[in-house]
């Protein structure tokens, strides 16, 4: 069991760009939900509760992808791929951050 988990982590470390692309996709999903939040009369409190859950899940995915990228760079992953992955990772965090701001703004009013 532990050997399988170690092999899985090693496999993901070698695919840092793919993991960053997955985080970007999750971040884009959060950004699309963010645009729906500007119709507050149509969406109620349940929408914002679900948006908060999506925001937390997306932030966790992006943080894990960032940790994976740092570990891959420390173990000798290609510098060009690390740079590209870092740019993709930067844009992956845009959606969850904007969604988090919208959810916090809703609950503070």
Nearest to 22 by CA among 74, 55, 64, 72: 64
The residue range of the domain holding 102 is 2-108
pLDDT band at 8; cut points 50, 70, 90: low
Q: Tens digits of per-residue pLDDT, 69-80?
A: 888 888 888 888
pLDDT for the residue numbered 47: 85
The verdict on pTM exceeding 0.85 is no
Does residue 85 carry a pLDDT above 70? yes
Q: How far is CA 75 from the centre of its chain?
A: 22
Mean pLDDT (whole number) for 9-31: 82
Structure tokens at 12: 């993901």
Number of domains in the chain: 1
Mean pLDDT value of segment 93-97: 92
């Amino acid at each position: 069991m532990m050997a399988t988990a170690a092999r899985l982590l090693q496999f993901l470390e070698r695919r840092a760009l793919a993991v960053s692309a997955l985080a970007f996709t999750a971040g884009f999903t959060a950004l699309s939900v963010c645009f729906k939040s500007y119709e507050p009369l149509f969406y109620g409190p349940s929408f914002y509760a679900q948006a908060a859950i999506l925001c937390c899940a997306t932030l966790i995915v992006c943080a894990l992808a960032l940790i994976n990228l740092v570990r891959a760079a420390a173990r000798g992953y290609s510098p060009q791929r690390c740079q590209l992955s870092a740019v993709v990772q930067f844009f992956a965090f845009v959606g969850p951050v904007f969604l988090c701001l919208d959810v916090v703004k809703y609950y503070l009013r």
